[in-house]
Amino acid sequence: MRLNKRLPAALSGLLLSTALLAGCSTSGTDETTTTTVSSAAASTTTSTSSDSSSSSSSDSSTTAETISNTAEAAQAFLATLSTEEQDAVLYDYDAEEKSTGWSNFPVTFVQRSGVNLTDLTEEQQAAALNVLKNLLNNDAYQMIEDIMASDQYLNDESNTTEDSLGQYYIAFFGDPSSDSDWSIQFGGHHIGINATFSDGAITFAPTHLGTQPSEWTNEDGETVAALSNMYETAFAFYDSLTEEQQAQLYQGEELDSMVCAPGSTCDYPTGTGLKGSDLTDEQKELLLDVIANWVGLADEETTETELDAIRETLDDTYINWSGATEYDTSTGDGIYFQISGPKVYIEFANQQGSAGADIDGVITAGWGHIHTIYRDPTNDYANSVTQEAASGMMGGGPGGNGGEMPSGDMPTGEMRSGTPSGAPSN
């Protein structure tokens, strides 16, 4: 059987593999579909946040193992597809779509590369997700599950009218093989993973991770907080600073907007804030803990290799921060921080709006709505393509609103920051 085009319900079955991880509504979902997709997602250990591990994810400890296992899983996925479906998934390694086919927006507004999981059978969906399981470490895969569960929850419980929430695409660029360069792209609303395998190395630059709401309670009374570790490591770094260092770091109460929105071109700003050379060795390691939220998605060797390269350039890296200075989600609008150096560029931005998706008793704006971007100024896509604006209606949402679509009260036909008026926010 083929799954309903409304993927939120279909993917909720997939997330049930973690014992109703999200507690999402499955009304309208065929019971057989739910069971099959649940089984296909593998027997993951029950977990409710990205702080917990999932035994079904990759157990690779080296880069070579991750590359080999992921390529094998990718070939197994391709074997489940028809010729037409394979054509939809496969691109040339240097195809322009690699840089234009991802964004933070729902899939309605930015065309994605590859095949929509909605259009696949349960077996094919499971095989597609098995690619991610072999690519990502336990915590990273759990985080992706939690982001998807949060989108499902947003779809089910909020007043949003956007019906493409929870839809995800997968694409391969090049021939999945341990011996050749190739890339995986997986994404949808608040997910844009670009993993490139080149010359025996793995890079996740560029990658977008976001979530909304950032914290909520499932029907079992358990907290789901997909990106909580980003908050925790960021404030651990902030709290380690002296008053003088914080004064250099801090840019003010008003939150900055994202400069390099997901799926957009940009010049990397630098020179603002606290310089890495002014940090102690302990503070540098705490900063690397923050950075590891993005570069540490795969095995230990891949993570340490990337962190070592960034560590060598930390003295020339700048960090700036605006917004709240205490981790208290009950007050204020959240935080913004930017890490900009020769080898790493990261932005974390709480979005100042619920994106037209309000839920009684749940924070869906500010602290509750997160956008992030990770890029490597020296090695995006392993230098296989140059970043172009995302395809679709708004070119990935570059501009001063951090990739947010404007609110629906704008005059018809008026546009701001490259986004269409009247469209739902992301």
- Residue-level pLDDT at 373: 97
Rounded-to-integer distance, Cα 223 and Cα 226, Å: 10
Q: Do 33 and 146 have their domain in common?
A: yes
Residue 392 in domain: no
Residue 265 in domain: yes
Rounded-to-integer distance, Cα 315 and Cα 284, Å: 9
Rounded-to-integer distance, Cα 363 and Cα 354, Å: 8
Q: Do 211 and 242 have their domain in common?
A: no
Q: Do 96 and 244 have their domain in common?
A: no
Q: Do 180 and 267 have their domain in common?
A: no
**Tell me: the pLDDT tens digits for 183-231?**
999 999 999 999 999 999 999 999 999 999 999 999 999 999 999 999 9
Q: Which of 317, 322, 319 has the alpha carbon at shortest distance from 336?
A: 322
Q: Do 239 and 182 have their domain in common?
A: no
User: How far apart, in Å, do the first and last CA atoms of the chain sit?
Assistant: 31
Residue 390 in domain: no
Q: Do 234 and 260 have their domain in common?
A: yes
Q: Identify the three-state secondary structure at position 187.
A: strand
Q: Do 350 and 213 have their domain in common?
A: no
Q: Do 238 and 212 have their domain in common?
A: no
- Residue-level pLDDT at 58: 64
Residue 398 in domain: no
- Residue-level pLDDT at 14: 52
Rounded-to-integer distance, Cα 268 and Cα 38, Å: 42
- Residue-level pLDDT at 426: 54
Longest dimension (CA), the chain: 62
Tell the residue number behind the tokens 């036909």, with chain if given. 413
Buried b (16+ CB within 10 A) or exposed e, 204-229: bbbbbbbbbbbbbebeeebebbbbbb
Q: Do 167 and 289 have their domain in common?
A: no
Residue 400 in domain: no
| CB 346, CB 339: distance < 8 Å | yes
- Residue-level pLDDT at 392: 60
CA dist 276 to 246, 280, 324, 330, Å? 13, 9, 21, 31
- Residue-level pLDDT at 266: 85
Residue 367 in domain: yes
Q: How many domains does the chain have?
A: 2
Q: Identify the three-state secondary structure at position 122.
A: helix
Q: Do 313 and 358 have their domain in common?
A: yes
| Domain boundary, last residue among 147, 182, 217 | 217
The boundaries of the domain holding residue 326 are 226-383
- Residue-level pLDDT at 4: 30
Q: Do 206 and 277 have their domain in common?
A: no
| pLDDT, tens digit only, all 426 positions of the chain | 323 333 434 454 554 443 333 333 323 333 333 322 223 333 333 333 333 333 345 678 999 999 999 999 999 999 999 999 999 999 999 999 999 999 898 888 888 999 999 999 999 999 999 999 999 999 999 999 999 999 999 999 999 888 888 899 999 999 999 999 999 999 999 999 999 999 999 999 999 999 999 999 999 999 999 999 999 999 999 999 999 999 999 999 999 889 998 878 888 999 999 999 999 999 999 999 999 999 999 999 999 999 999 999 999 999 999 999 999 999 999 999 999 999 999 999 999 989 889 999 999 999 999 999 999 999 999 999 999 888 764 433 322 333 444 333 322 222 222 332 233 345
pTM: 0.83
Residue 23 in domain: yes
Rounded-to-integer distance, Cα 59 and Cα 363, Å: 35
Whether a cis peptide bond, with omega within 30° of 0, leads into 206 is yes
- Residue-level pLDDT at 57: 56
Residue 413 in domain: no
**Tell me: the pLDDT tens digits for 295-307?**
999 999 999 999 9
- Residue-level pLDDT at 164: 86
Q: Do 78 and 111 have their domain in common?
A: yes
